[in-house]
């Protein structure tokens, strides 16, 4: 227990917990009305209090964490605001997360998109549940949504976005964590980057026929330093591998991508180009 919490407890142990009135009528003189105010299922972040059982945390949360008392997941969010000075950080229940997301989407004019992606998520959840005969996990659902998204993007020849979806897959695998598969996918992203992916223009709802899908020349074949950093972390620390093993994994993954989406560079060519790059981690 933190010092502040101990003090608070000492000072309040003999007096009953002060109750705040359930709802404060909005003041008529307030010029800007907050979009959302603290309600049931939310606590101010700085109060370090569980929104479910009201147990005190040692310190305010910085991100999602299970409550040590009731063991339920507590999320950290910012309430929607129009003026930054009204911004309030809160610890919230799972139910409130959704309410806050909806309020943000309405405020940002992305509500329709939000509803669509929620619908896609629910449809995928149901589909997998039927196929597998058991409830899929959040990461299973996200994984299959990304697979589906990539098929659409390949048809639309949006290779930059295809590459981004592949990156999300690598990131998801890192989080679960499945480091070996994550490394494989990061190497795949690297291979796509070396091929210089383009988002082909759409004309009358169709990709432009003469559009260039990939251009592996400079400066299109841009390598993001963040990707290299992650690959190095994975190969050195998470799933330690020899130089030769990393090269083989790269060639194998690149080979599959090369066949499935017809990237211009062969895996070997791409590896040679990588070695010439400043960003290359070395042998």
Which chain residues interact with Zn ion by CB under 5 A? Answer: 50, 52-53, 55, 67, 69-70
Q: Counting beta carbons within 10 angstroms of the beta carbon of residue 16, is it exposed (0 to 12), middle (13 to 18) or buried (19 or more)? A: exposed
- Return the number of the residue (52 or 271) whose C-beta is nearest Zn ion: 52
Give 70-78's long-range contacts (Cβ < 8 A, gap of 24+). Answer: 74/50, 76/45
Between 91 and 274, CB nearer to Zn ion: 91
Q: Are the C-beta atoms of residues 254 and 191 closer than 8 Å to each other?
A: yes
| Residue 52 CB, nearest approach to Zn ion (Å) | 4
Name the residue nearer to Zn ion (CB basis): 67 or 92.
67
67/90 Cα distance (integer angstroms): 15
Q: Please say which residue, 91 or 145, places its beta carbon nearer to Zn ion.
A: 91
Q: Minimum CB separation from Zn ion for residue 8, in Å?
A: 17
CB of 265 to Zn ion, least distance (A): 53
Contact 194, 205 (CB under 8 A): no
**Least distance from Zn ion to the Cβ atom of residue 208, Å:** 55
Q: Contact at 8 Å (CB) between 45 and 57? A: no
Say what angle helices 111-132 and 94-108 make with each other, to 10 degrees.
Answer: 140
């Amino acid at each position: 227990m933190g010092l502040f919490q101990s003090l608070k407890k000492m000072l309040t142990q003999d007096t009953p917990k002060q109750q705040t009135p359930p709802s404060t009528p909005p003041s008529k003189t307030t010029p800007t009305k907050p979009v959302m105010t603290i309600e049931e299922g939310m606590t101010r972040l700085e109060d370090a209090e569980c929104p479910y059982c009201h147990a005190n945390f040692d310190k305010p949360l910085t991100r999602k964490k299970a409550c040590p008392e009731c063991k339920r997941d507590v999320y950290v969010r910012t309430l929607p605001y129009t003026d930054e000075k009204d911004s309030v950080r809160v610890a919230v229940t799972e139910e409130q997360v959704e309410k806050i997301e909806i309020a943000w989407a309405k405020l940002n004019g992305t509500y329709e998109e939000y509803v669509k992606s929620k619908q896609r998520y629910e449809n995928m959840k149901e589909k997998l549940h039927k196929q597998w005969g058991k409830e899929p996990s959040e990461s299973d659902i996200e994984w299959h949504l990304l697979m589906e998204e990539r098929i659409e993007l390949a048809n639309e020849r949006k290779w930059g976005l295809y590459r981004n979806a592949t990156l999300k897959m690598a990131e998801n695998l890192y989080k679960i964590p499945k480091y070996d598969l994550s490394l494989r996918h990061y190497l795949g992203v690297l291979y796509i980057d070396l091929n210089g992916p383009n988002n082909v223009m759409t004309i009358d709802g169709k990709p432009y026929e003469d559009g260039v899908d990939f251009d592996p020349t400079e400066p299109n074949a841009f390598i993001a330093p963040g990707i290299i950093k992650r690959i190095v972390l994975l190969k050195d620390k998470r799933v330690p591998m020899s130089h030769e093993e990393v090269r083989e994994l790269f060639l194998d993954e690149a080979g599959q991508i090369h066949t499935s989406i017809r990237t211009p560079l062969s895996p070997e060519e791409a590896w040679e180009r990588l070695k010439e790059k400043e960003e290359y981690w070395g042998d």
